[in-house]
Amino acid sequence: MIEPYEGRIYDPCCGSGGMFVQSERFIQEHQGKIENLSIYGQELNSTTWKLCKMNLAIRGLEANLGPHHADTFHNDLHKTLKADYILANPPFNISDWGGNRLTDDVRWKYGTPPEGNANYAWLQHIIHHLSPNGIAGVVLANGSLSSNTSNEGEIRKNLLENDLIDAIVALPDKLFYSTGIPVSLWILNRNKKNNPQFRSRENEVLFIDARNLGEMVTRRHRELKEDDIKKISDTYHKWRSIETCHSEPSEESFIPMAAESSETYGGYDDIKGFCYSAPIQDIRENEYVLTPGRYVGIEEVEDDGIPFEEKMENLTDELTRLFKESHKLEEEIRKNLGGIGYEI
């Protein structure tokens, strides 16, 4: 969605470097030059930090991960960095992040985050490190969309009133191996009004409800397929592009805006049950809650023309038939069990 094509890319909780690898793949798939990307990262865990260095080295990617592993909140190794792109999947809802020692931190421009949850500390750290035209994509637990406890609601209000939130995408559950909870994707944008590449979306937020996308590949794990990802990203690109047409882009025309004009994507339209471009007034009326389901509505179901009474009559007839068949099967099972000496 944010297309990290060239410039400075940063991940403040980079783990083993998965976000950087995906950025490299994006560039390769769109005939870009990897040397146009400068990579910065930080990781708390010593072993994971070493894995990240190795992961990037075997792919020939140069990166500044700091001289050692370190806590991003308490020992920011890139204090002066202003990144063009930030991609992050922070640990969800961490309560022991030491917020009581950072109450007057320069990063908390929009409000002091609660000591018991680091979600809004991550958001503000990321915004602090964005360049004037920078864009970020952040994965957070769904509670961050609506929580009003311990100043979180006030921080969210300030982020919205300062027009820093571009889009919110509600994702389905079971996407992670480590947890089954559903999550949301926040797209943050430092310059929604005057960025020359994009259409001005001042005081608007795009909501996408993608909870029904993807398919279960095992009993506990769901995957978003390529078409699902394209549906989400195309919707976002159409929304922020300079609108010149309303035709669907072909496979050949799907080129990142950083490489070619955004006119490729065509026009945006709200789709009931899937996406809605909400003006700030709508969000104010919803008390700054960012749950996409509040805004996109319920998907319209095409009327098949069959009256409700007729549908109910058909359904009850079918249910009666199934009940009779169930009783018949139950008797046969009892009879077969009795034949081998088991009575129920």
pLDDT tens-digit map of 287-309: 999 999 999 988 665 666 678 78
216: domain range?
Answer: 89-296
Q: Is 315 found in the same domain as 277?
A: no
Please state, for a pLDDT cut of 70, what percent of the chain lies above it. 90
Mean pLDDT throughout 132-142? 95
332, 235: one domain: no
pLDDT confidence bin for 129, thresholds 50/70/90: very high
Model pLDDT, residue 5: 78
Q: Has residue 76 been placed in a domain?
A: no
* Alpha helices (runs of H) in 82-215, residue ranges in sequence order: 119-128, 152-161
Residues 190, 258, single domain; the answer is: yes
Residues 107 and 253 in one domain: yes
Tens of pLDDT, residues 75-112 = 999 999 999 999 999 998 999 999 999 989 999 999 99
Q: What is the pLDDT of residues 242-297, one digit of tens each?
A: 654 333 433 333 334 443 333 456 689 999 999 999 999 999 999 999 999 999 98
Mean pLDDT of the chain: 87
Does residue 49 belong to any structural domain of this protein?
no
Q: With respect to residue 20, please indicate whether it lies within any of the assigned structural domains.
A: no
How far are the Cα atoms of 38, 42, 121, 194 from residue 70, in angstroms, in the given order? 20, 7, 16, 36
Residues 6+ away with beta carbon under 8 Å from 13: 42, 43, 44, 72, 88, 89, 90, 91, 122
The verdict on 231 and 311 lying in the same domain is: no
Residue 140 near residue 132 (C-beta atoms within 8 A): no
- Are 292 and 322 found together in one domain? no
pLDDT surpassing 60 at residue 328: yes
CATH code of the domain containing 189: 3.40.50.150
Question: Residue 254: its pLDDT value, please?
Answer: 35
In a domain, 313, yes or no: yes
265 shares a domain with 125? yes
The C-alpha atoms of residue 213 and residue 228 are separated, in whole angstroms, by: 6
pLDDT tens across 171-227, in order? Answer: 999 988 878 888 999 999 999 988 777 788 999 999 999 999 999 999 889 999 999
**248 and 214 within one domain:** yes
Number of domains in the chain: 2
